[in-house]
Structure 1
Amino acid sequence: MDQKGNRTDSHGNRSPVERKGLRELVITRTFHAPPSAVYEAWSQPASFRQWWVPASASGVVLVSCEMDVRTGGQYRLEFGTAGSGTMAFFGRYLEVVPNERIVWTNDEGEEGAVTTVTFGVTDGRTLLTFHELYPSEEEIEEALRGGAAALPEQLEQLDGLLSVETE
């Protein structure tokens, strides 16, 4: 990890979490895999389950992963730990363009963020951009103290999964 808290993989690929303005968070990552493979890892529950829970989240498991990845579809992710109940995250897909873009709502709170993930191509690799727009400055501050801080680790795990699949 560098001084800013960014993770660097074995290829020197950093995943910087950048705050843009008062309510926006952006993270980018380049993957040595085609957009179709990266998109599949985000849109197929069996693949998504393999990388979404940060390894550092000791004891946390993805109990349920329901994803209807299409414009107008819905998702519901339930996380649990041994001896406690589950916590659900859910919302709907506002826009889905296979291999290019997924936009969804985060509806578990009163006002949730809107997340956009794009899959671009650069030098034969996939440039993934993860963008979240929060309803308030307070919401982004809370996210930076919680789940958003794990995004570099999650993307590092995705990189590991894609590296195995493309070998």
Structure 2
Amino acid sequence: MRQSDQPERATYATTVQRKSEREVTVSRTFEGPVRAVFDAWTRPELFKLWWAPKSMGAVLSGCEIDARTGGGYRITFGAGAESATFFGKYLEVTPPSRLVWTNEESADGPVTTVTFEDRGAQTLLVLSELHPAEPPAEAVEGMQVMMSEQFAQLDDLLASLPEPT
């Protein structure tokens, strides 16, 4: 199919809301079946293609994901002295509808819950971060920019995947 013959993809807004002093949610609808969106979060070969915001120049140099209840993850950006590693444990993995994990790289890391709601050819994703204390306002504002870019990259990945059979 020629590019001009392809239907234009819908674009959806990424919404960030402070639900309480300690909880922040991010929601977004994706064009793609729930299984494909879930797999993009749980399969390292897919995750590393969209998670690092390209505008930041961040390179995902390490990506280990053991997506099962009791499993863990380890994500590294950069290399050597310039690297930053994020890691934690999966508290719940319910394919393809729910992930819950800890963020253990610092004492104030939140518990993150991601739900995936099947809407046929679309998926509603809601990410919730429950922090041990109120996160700074600038951190919440930064989520809007960063998550919007990451989710646009996830849109691109989903559009490039083969149609499910």
Is 2:119 aligned against 1:122? yes
Unaligned 5+ runs, structure 2:
1-7
Residues 36-115 of structure 1 aligned to structure 2 (within 5 Å): 36-58=35-57, 60-80=58-78, 84-115=81-112
Alignment: residue pair count? 156
Q: 2:98 is matched by which residue type in structure 1?
A: R
Three-state SS of the structure 2 residue aligned to 1:40 is helix
TM-score by length of 2: 0.86
Distance 2:142 2:150 in 1: 13
Per-residue CA deviation, residues 112-167 of structure 1 (Å, 9 max, x unaligned), is: 10001111022541111111111111x35463265664111101110111012146
Three-state SS of the structure 1 residue aligned to 2:153 is helix
Displacement, 1:20? Answer: 1.1
Contact 2:33 2:120 in 1 (8 A): no
Distance 2:125 2:142 in 1: 21
TM-score by length of 1: 0.85
Contact 1:39 1:99 in 2 (8 A): yes
Runs of 4+ in 1 over 2 A off after TM superposition: 139-149
Distance 1:142 1:94 in 2: 28
Name the CA shift for 1:71/1:159 in 2 (closer, same or farther; >3 Å): same
Name the CA shift for 1:104/1:140 in 2 (closer, same or farther; >3 Å): farther
Name the CA shift for 1:119/1:93 in 2 (closer, same or farther; >3 Å): same
Distance 2:84 2:30 in 1: 30
Among 154, 158, 164, the residue aligned to 2:160: 164
RMSD between aligned alpha carbons? 2.1
Three-state SS of the structure 2 residue aligned to 1:56 is helix
Distance 2:117 2:150 in 1: 19
Three-state SS of the structure 2 residue aligned to 1:130 is strand
Three-state SS of the structure 1 residue aligned to 2:55 is coil
Q: 1:15 is matched by which residue type in structure 2?
A: T
Highest Rg: 1 or 2? 2
